Amino acid sequence: MSNKKLLAIETSCDECSASVVEQADPWVKPLSNVIFSQIELHRRFGGVVPEVASRNHLDMLFPVIEEALIKAGVGFKDLDGVAVTQRPGLIGALLVGVSAAKAIAYALDKPFIPVNHLEGHVSSLFLAHQGSFPALTREHLPLVICLVSGGHTQLYLMKELPPQNLGLKLLGESRDDAAGEAFDKGAKLLGLPYPGGRAIDEHAKKGNSKAFALPRPMLGDNLEFSFSGLKTALFTELKNQGYEPSARISTKPAKLPTGKALDDFCAVLQESIIEALFRKTQLAIQKTGARAVAVVGGVSANSRLRSRFTHEISVPFISVPLEFCTDNAAMIGAAGMYRLLNGSFLQGPQLLSATAYSNSEG
Ligand code: KG4
Ligand code: ZN
């Protein structure tokens, strides 16, 4: 029997992505991973505008799917199913992907595989990349996974490798803002373009992270995070240093740090976020006796995070190639492949009742 192939679709936020993935036991091989980013469309609003996102997904999704099929050298008839992000995310944006996936799966009479976006980020660990396969082995188990995105900051313990049930256990998460949100909101105060994480990363490389201090968003000896106070602390520090942060509610024109001062603000803010992620992840390793650690999600693209985890964490560090850190359909395809193999899908008339959900439960 030939290896299974899936079309995967991701439209939960501002990336319109489609991928064709192939079973490569025990891993999943992306044959294509096309990502159309809407960043330019949302930039002038300083963040994602949900209605603009949905409308653009409607325009872009079919060209993106077509390109993913062509790049993979695969036709609709070669597919064994269609996987799609069903939750969590912007409801209008999700609905575009889910409706398209339903239509394709129904027309082909193939499995429709709904995937949780967070499970997708975790499954980015199981993707083969450019001929090489994940370095994960049983020696790395149990594995602590730090999932850091624009909407979530969570620590998991993974007890098994696919195709087994991963036995994922949530160890702790953020009580308020996510780490990516802390980057994005900080960047907005500093007048940097959306999304802020990458811009802060670049400026921070030239800055001094000890130029002054911001609080470390820590909550003692537990595995929870709290990042919401950090933007207030940044706002206050900017004011104390004589700047006028670029808050929309302000009637005064912004007066923002530039040059070396801006680089320093970015380095200090970044250090504060990464320190919290690093310390809590290290604590999770100690509390669980984990034998390795992995970081997934958009913030795992951060160069300081990757360097600290590579050089300072107490167990081997598994990272994901940058292409699979921020939102992409290949990771949804990986999660979808294991669901397909486990029989967790809908087919025929029963798939018509499937819908999208903005929350992460269920
Ligand atoms: O996983 P992702 O693409 O989307 C969500 O599921 O939310 O993560 C997006 C987040 C944004 O907050 C973005 O600022 C952040 O990832 N990000 C970064 C970097 N690249 C993206 N944060 C810090 N440093 C980066 N290099
Ligand atoms: Zn994501």
Residue 15 alpha carbon, nearest atom of ligand 1? 3
**Which residue is closest in CA terms to ligand 1's atom 20?**
198
For range 144-161, the mean pLDDT:
97
| Residue 15 CA to ligand 2 centre (angstroms) | 9
For range 165-170, the mean pLDDT:
96
Q: What's the token pair of residue 191?
A: 């007048």
| Residue 326 CA to ligand 1 centre (angstroms) | 6
Pocket of ligand 1 (CB under 6 A): 13, 149-151, 180, 183-184, 195-198, 201, 297-299, 301-302, 326-327
| Residue 118 CA to ligand 2 centre (angstroms) | 7
For range 78-90, the mean pLDDT:
98
**Which residue is closest in CA terms to ligand 1's atom 22?**
197
For the ranges 41-50, 63-72, 98-107, 170-179, the lowest mean pLDDT is seen at 41-50
pLDDT-derived band of residue 136, with 50, 70 and 90 as boundaries?
very high
Residue 151 alpha carbon, nearest atom of ligand 1? 7
Catalogue all structural domains in the chain, each as residue range(s) with its CATH number. 5-130+323-353 (3.30.420.40), 172-320 (3.30.420.40)
pLDDT exceeds cutoff 70 at 250? no
Beta bridge partners of 158: 143
Residue 196 alpha carbon, nearest atom of ligand 1? 14
For range 316-342, the mean pLDDT:
97
For range 256-264, the mean pLDDT:
97
Residue 325 alpha carbon, nearest atom of ligand 1? 1
Q: Which of 16, 119, 149 to mutate to test the pocket of ligand 1 (most atoms within 8 A of CB)?
A: 149
pLDDT exceeds cutoff 60 at 105? yes
pLDDT exceeds cutoff 70 at 362? no
Identify residue 70 by its one-letter amino acid code.
I
| Residue 12 CA to ligand 2 centre (angstroms) | 8
| Residue 13 CA to ligand 1 centre (angstroms) | 12
Which residues are found with C-beta within 5 Å of the ion, ligand 2?
Answer: 149, 327
| Residue 297 CA to ligand 1 centre (angstroms) | 7
pLDDT-derived band of residue 247, with 50, 70 and 90 as boundaries?
low
**Which residue is closest in CA terms to ligand 1's atom 7?**
150
| Residue 167 CA to ligand 2 centre (angstroms) | 21
pLDDT-derived band of residue 271, with 50, 70 and 90 as boundaries?
very high
Three-class secondary structure assignment of the chain: CCCCEEEEEECCCCEEEEEEEEEECCEEEEEEEEEEECHHHHHCCCCCCHHHHHHHHHHHHHHHHHHHHHHHCCCHHHCCCEEEEEECCCHHHHHHHHHHHHHHHHHHCCCEEEEEHHHHHHHHHHECECCECCCCCHHHCCEEEEEECCCCEEEEEECCCCCCCCCCEEEEEECCCCHHHHHHHHHHHCCCCCCHHHHHHHHHCCCCCCCCCCCCCCCCCCCCECCHHHHHHHHHHHHHCCCECCCCCCCCCCECCCHHHHHHHHHHHHHHHHHHHHHHHHHHHHHHCCCEEEEECHHHHCHHHHHHHHHHCCCCEECCCHHHCCCCHHHHHHHHHHHHHCCCCECHHHHHHCCCCCCCCC
For range 37-41, the mean pLDDT:
93
Residue 270 alpha carbon, nearest atom of ligand 1? 23
Average pLDDT, the chain: 95
| Residue 179 CA to ligand 1 centre (angstroms) | 9
Is the pTM of the predicted complex or chain greater than 0.85?
A: yes
pLDDT exceeds cutoff 90 at 249? no
Identify residue 89 by its one-letter amino acid code.
G
* Ligand nearest to C-alpha 149: 1
pLDDT of residue 254: 83
pLDDT-derived band of residue 25, with 50, 70 and 90 as boundaries?
very high
For range 10-16, the mean pLDDT:
96
